[in-house]
């Protein structure tokens, strides 16, 4: 993989998701699908898209005739401070968002099959490279992508969200494989329906993904009565880029309320949101972010961390960061009184692991109180020498700390850890911690490291120091399948390659006639290769071959699914 300085800054847990673009596995038919979509886009989108789209196509150096290579895109994207990487289909939403926060465009390496040329429910290279990449050339929009990526990397998903992600990922794999059985697709579709019925409340990530969907993927911009397209899902769908501007698709002014509109990825959208400008996107995002745990903290944030059932981080008011799998919070007057993790945990400050507090040391979990001491309005984190003496917080001396929540810590102080003038950890030996009759820590368990802070100021998904924690996204249950084409399909792909060669090199009429005869004998229902072939023949002048092809295409148009595709392809030839 050829990198640039943007990719070189990625943390390991994101690098692990990057794959080599399987460029040699694209068939000549795949390149023809790309070319058809891009030619339709170039013909149509300048009239209906945001002004930055066409300019962006030029800036990103995306080819019209062939699927772009990642290394070529990266050389050009680096000039605007971005990069592109290939991934294996759908990746976790948090990972997708975090890539954006690092100015990296995630590109699914697959390309849609011919029967999904107008619209595909799965991410593919047309959607990512031809939809997303051109618009990021607009600096104000690129900043929005970065901002929503940063916030998305912090937002909590629920445990059910992860199950749904895996099911949607599997469905996309099956749908992009032309040889998948309808039975397997139906089974996974039903599983997704059942999972969706189980949702009681939308998670932070679900609501943020809604905002992302109605802007980055399916956004309209400008005058609500005559909007322009900027969303990548619309820009990459030759069907929906036309349908979305029709009157039957409701247009709604974009506000924070869009976060509560769910979407169905398998169908075209019944309503779309129109932002007056890109600045509004950032204003709405800032408003929305105030509702998230990473800004709210408190009991709400800790509960979101627990509900996620995944690695998370809470931040004490002292600046201490605790990363792990949060399993329990004891409450006192709607505030966290005691917080506990299970399994490996580490303690950090400013996103760096504190020496002596690694996941190996805290391999069995971590627990600590939060709040003020009883009858004390000054937090321990701000104690001066006089305050320490008052509570007998002297190394090698026994002390007893009673919190206003009722949590009682009794032990011999061994160490005080400070950062930037604040106390962040107190370490005790021979220590017991309890809340009334509930035992929270016993002396025989070893040293007790007590986190210091009067409140939780932030809680977010993931680890504060991912490298030290050893954080990585879970391995996918299902990997995208390397499609094993039938012999019949391989012969068709060879014909596509011959047509492509005929377009790029001079070819005599007899050779073109031989290609057409092969198509007539075996692939009369393959409309795209006929569009490609007639384009070449028309440039050489009208003859009986083009008449024969046109006659067959007319017969194919009885199939409503491909009628408009054929007509649009022929219209390009007229131009």
Q: Pull the structure tokens for residue 394.
A: 């002297």
pLDDT over 80 (residue 386): yes
Q: Tell whether 103 and 32 lie within a shared domain.
A: yes
In the block, tokens 């505030």 appear at 335
CA dist., res. 92 & res. 477, Å (int): 12
CA dist., res. 341 & res. 327, Å (int): 5
Q: Tell whether 280 and 216 lie within a shared domain.
A: yes
Q: Tell whether 125 and 240 lie within a shared domain.
A: yes
Q: Tell whether 315 and 400 lie within a shared domain.
A: yes
> Using an 8 Å Cβ cutoff, are 477 and 170 in contact?
yes
User: Is the residue at 371 inside a domain?
Assistant: yes
Q: Tell whether 366 and 513 lie within a shared domain.
A: no
| Residues counted in the chain | 575
Instruction: Provide mean pLDDT across the span 405-415.
Output: 96
- Predicted local distance difference test score (pLDDT) of residue 481: 62
Q: Tell whether 458 and 497 lie within a shared domain.
A: no
Q: Considering the entire predicted model, what is its pTM?
A: 0.86
pLDDT in tens, 270-321: 999 999 999 999 999 999 999 999 999 999 999 999 999 999 999 999 999 9
Q: Tell whether 419 and 388 lie within a shared domain.
A: yes
Domain that holds residue 379: 309-469
User: Is the residue at 499 inside a domain?
Assistant: yes
Q: Tell whether 117 and 259 lie within a shared domain.
A: yes
Q: Pull the structure tokens for residue 236.
A: 């990459």
How sure is the predictor about 354, in pLDDT bands with cuts at 50, 70 and 90? Answer: very high
- Predicted local distance difference test score (pLDDT) of residue 541: 65
User: Is the residue at 251 inside a domain?
Assistant: yes
CATH number, domain containing residue 23? 1.10.800.10
User: Is the residue at 106 inside a domain?
Assistant: yes
C-beta neighbour count of 2 within 10 angstroms:
10
CA dist., res. 190 & res. 170, Å (int): 12
Q: Pull the structure tokens for residue 48.
A: 């209906």
- Predicted local distance difference test score (pLDDT) of residue 542: 57
CA dist., res. 496 & res. 58, Å (int): 27
CA dist., res. 252 & res. 259, Å (int): 13
Q: Tell whether 452 and 499 lie within a shared domain.
A: no
User: Is the residue at 147 inside a domain?
Assistant: yes
Q: What is the DSSP string of 347-384?
A: EEETTEEPTT-STTTTTT--EEE-SPBTT--S-GGG--
pLDDT over 90 (residue 29): yes
How sure is the predictor about 192, in pLDDT bands with cuts at 50, 70 and 90? Answer: confident
Q: Which of 435, 469, 503 is the last residue of a domain?
A: 469
Q: In total, how many domains does the chain have? A: 3
User: Is the residue at 295 inside a domain?
Assistant: no
pLDDT over 80 (residue 143): yes
User: Is the residue at 37 inside a domain?
Assistant: yes
Q: Tell whether 404 and 263 lie within a shared domain.
A: no
Q: Tell whether 440 and 549 lie within a shared domain.
A: no
Q: Tell whether 453 and 561 lie within a shared domain.
A: no
Q: Which of 411, 434, 469 is the last residue of a domain?
A: 469
pLDDT in tens, 208-251: 999 999 999 999 999 999 999 999 889 888 888 888 999 999 99
User: Is the residue at 465 inside a domain?
Assistant: yes
Q: Which of 417, 441, 469 is the last residue of a domain?
A: 469
CATH number, domain containing residue 448? 2.30.30.100
């Amino acid at each position: 993989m050829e990198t640039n300085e943007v990719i070189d800054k990625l943390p390991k847990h994101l690098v692990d998701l990057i794959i080599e673009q399987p460029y040699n596995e694209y068939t000549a038919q795949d390149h023809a699908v790309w070319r058809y979509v891009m030619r339709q886009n170039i013909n149509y989108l300048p009239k209906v898209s945001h002004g930055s789209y066409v300019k962006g196509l030029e800036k990103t150096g995306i080819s019209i005739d062939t699927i772009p290579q990642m290394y070529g895109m990266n050389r050009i994207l680096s000039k605007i401070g971005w990069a592109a990487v290939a991934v294996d289909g759908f990746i976790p939403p948090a990972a997708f968002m975090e890539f954006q926060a690092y100015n990296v465009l995630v590109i699914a390496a697959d390309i849609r099959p011919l029967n999904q040329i107008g619209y595909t429910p799965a991410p593919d290279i047309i959607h990512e490279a031809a939809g997303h990449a051109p618009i990021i050339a607009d600096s104000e929009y690129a900043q929005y992508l970065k901002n929503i990526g940063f916030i998305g990397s912090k937002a909590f998903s629920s445990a059910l969200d992860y199950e749904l992600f895996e099911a949607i990922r599997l469905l996309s794999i099956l749908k992009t494989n032309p040889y998948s059985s309808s039975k397997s697709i139906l089974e996974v579709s039903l599983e997704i329906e059942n999972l969706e019925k189980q949702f009681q409340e939308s998670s932070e990530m679900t609501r943020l993904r809604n905002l992302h969907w109605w802007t980055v993927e399916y956004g309209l911009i400008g005058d609500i009565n005559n909007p322009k397209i900027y969303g990548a899902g619309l820009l990459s769908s030759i069907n929906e880029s036309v349908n979305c501007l029709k009157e039957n698709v409701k247009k709604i002014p974009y506000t924070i309320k869009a976060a509560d509109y769910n979407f169905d990825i398998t169908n075209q959208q019944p309503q779309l949101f129109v932002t007056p400008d890109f600045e509004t996107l950032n204003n709405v995002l800032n408003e929305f972010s105030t509702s998230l745990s990473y800004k709210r903290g408190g009991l709400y944030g800790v509960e979101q961390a627990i509900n996620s059932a995944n690695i998370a981080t809470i931040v004490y008011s002292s600046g201490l960061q605790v990363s792990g799998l949060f399993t329990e919070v004891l409450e006192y007057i709607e505030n966290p009184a005691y917080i506990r993790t299970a399994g490996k945990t580490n303690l950090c400050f400013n996103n760096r692991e504190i020496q002596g507090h690694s996941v190996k040391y805290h391999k069995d979990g971590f627990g600590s109180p939060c709040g003020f001491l009883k009858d004390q309005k000054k937090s321990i984190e701000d104690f001066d020498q006089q305050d320490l003496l008052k509570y007998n917080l002297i190394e090698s001396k026994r002390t007893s700390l009673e919190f206003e929540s009722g949590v009682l810590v009794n032990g011999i102080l061994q160490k005080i850890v400070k950062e930037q003038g604040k106390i962040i950890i107190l370490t005790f030996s021979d220590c017991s911690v309890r809340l009334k009759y509930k035992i929270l820590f016993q002396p025989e368990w070893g040293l007790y490291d007590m986190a210091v802070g009067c409140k939780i100021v932030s809680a977010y998904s993931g680890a504060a120091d991912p490298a030290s924690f050893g954080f990585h996204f879970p391995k996918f249950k299902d990997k995208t399948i390397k499609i094993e084409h039938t012999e019949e399909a391989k012969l068709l792909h060879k014909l596509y390659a011959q047509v492509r060669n005929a377009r790029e090199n001079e070819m005599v009429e007899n050779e073109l006639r031989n290609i057409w005869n092969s198509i007539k004998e075996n692939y009369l229902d393959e409309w795209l290769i006929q569009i490609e072939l007639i384009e070449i023949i028309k440039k050489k002048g009208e003859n009986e071959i083009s008449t024969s092809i046109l006659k067959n295409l007319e017969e194919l148009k009885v199939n409503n699914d491909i009628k408009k595709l054929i007509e649009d392809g022929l219209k390009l030839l007229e131009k």
